[in-house]
Amino acid sequence: MVGTGFYVPERVVTNDELSRYMDTSDAWIRERSGIEERRWASEGTTCAGMARRASEMALTEAGLRPGAVDAILLATLSPDHAFPGTSAFLQRELGLTGIPALDVRAQCTGFVYGLSVADAWVRVGQYRTVLLVGVEIQSTGLDVSTRGRDMSVLFGDGAGAVVLQATEDPDRGVLSTHLHAEGQNAEILWCEFESSASHPRISREALDEGRHYPSMVGKEVFRHAVARMSEAVEEALGANGLAASDIDLLIPHQANLRISQMVQRRLGLTEGRVFNNIQRYGNTTAATIPIALAEAVREGRLERGDLLCLAAFGSGFTWGSALIRW
């Protein structure tokens, strides 16, 4: 990873602001999730535009021009349009043409899935420099009435990007990625509409019932998230002959501060070895890990040679982990 970057919209939405739209409170949201505020994109802001800003920061840090990028991977569950993928719009925003642009649809695990694809591309020599982005605009898809309060207080908007480049240095780079999915639980955390199985894809009835908003069984998601993220980290450590005590920094997907803290406890890590920023951004889904990574770099939390661990869990269910020698 030779460059990291992020972008979050300027507009800060506090818990107190949300309590003006729905029956909730700052105390409830903080206590249950750790979230204090999140960012919401303004009218006209696109995922492709936010992804471009994050990508430009990552490319600048890497000392590269956009033209050095050989392939684009973009993870999102909130694409700008039904098709084409947002990666195509990002490619255009960066002034690039001809190189492949692929959207990754693995929700909160999208960045880790994308990292696995990028790592494989680089390892086999297919592409030398890969731009990997996670981006979401959640705010336009949330039910901000009391009906949707269990979901809508959790999510925020943002983008994070990483530039990966081939290296001959055996002591540096992605050590492994481990990916999983369990489609049996797809409806525990999902957004039912629009649906191509429905004629038309959205009906007045579905709109009235709010079935175009995301929904979840919160407690089930919570339970699975803690177990699966912890397991995925242990799997990664075992595969590399390492122990939790070897981890210098764990960046867990930012779904709920309590989830991160329980994973931290299960792994026996001290607080200083886990990076959380959900307090300021909420859950930005595929963007949480790359935003956190870019912030961790800027805060000096990673030094050359450190062992970085990423872990994610999300809708699908999907989950996974990555170990990186920084």
- Which residues are at the interface with ligand ACO (CB under 6 A)? 24, 28, 32-33, 108, 149-150, 153-154, 189, 216, 218-219, 221-222, 225, 253, 255-256, 283, 285, 313-315
- If the CB atoms of residues 18 and 296 are measured against ligand ACO, the closer one turns out to be 18
**Look-up: residue for tokens 């050989």?**
70
- If the CB atoms of residues 90 and 225 are measured against ligand ACO, the closer one turns out to be 225
> Which run of H or E residues covers position 149?
helix 149-152
Going by C-beta distance under 8 Å and a sequence separation of 6 or more, which residues neighbour residue 251? Answer: 274, 275, 289, 292, 293, 296, 308, 309, 310, 311
The span from the CA of 125 to the CA of 138, in Å, is 35
Q: Report strand pairing: 37-39 vs 307-314.
A: unpaired
User: Does the annotation count 185 as an active-site position?
Assistant: no
The span from the CA of 70 to the CA of 122, in Å, is 10
Beta carbon of residue 274, minimum distance to ligand ACO (angstroms, whole number):
16
User: Does the annotation count 283 as an active-site position?
Assistant: yes
What the block records as the tokens of 296 is 């961790």
Beta carbon of residue 229, minimum distance to ligand ACO (angstroms, whole number):
10
Which among 253, 276, 277, 309 is annotated as catalytic? 253
User: Does the annotation count 253 as an active-site position?
Assistant: yes
Beta carbon of residue 28, minimum distance to ligand ACO (angstroms, whole number):
4
Beta carbon of residue 308, minimum distance to ligand ACO (angstroms, whole number):
20
DSSP codes of every residue in 266-315: HHT--GGGB---HHHH-B-GGGHHHHHHHHHHHTT---TT-EEEEEEEET
Beta carbon of residue 24, minimum distance to ligand ACO (angstroms, whole number):
3
- If the CB atoms of residues 178 and 228 are measured against ligand ACO, the closer one turns out to be 228
Which among 47, 108, 191, 309 is annotated as catalytic? 108
Which among 191, 224, 283, 309 is annotated as catalytic? 283
The residue of the chain with the least Cβ separation from ligand ACO equals 218
Going by C-beta distance under 8 Å and a sequence separation of 6 or more, which residues neighbour residue 78? Answer: 47, 135, 136, 137, 138, 140, 141, 285
- If the CB atoms of residues 150 and 194 are measured against ligand ACO, the closer one turns out to be 150
Q: Which residues are catalytic?
A: 108, 253, 283
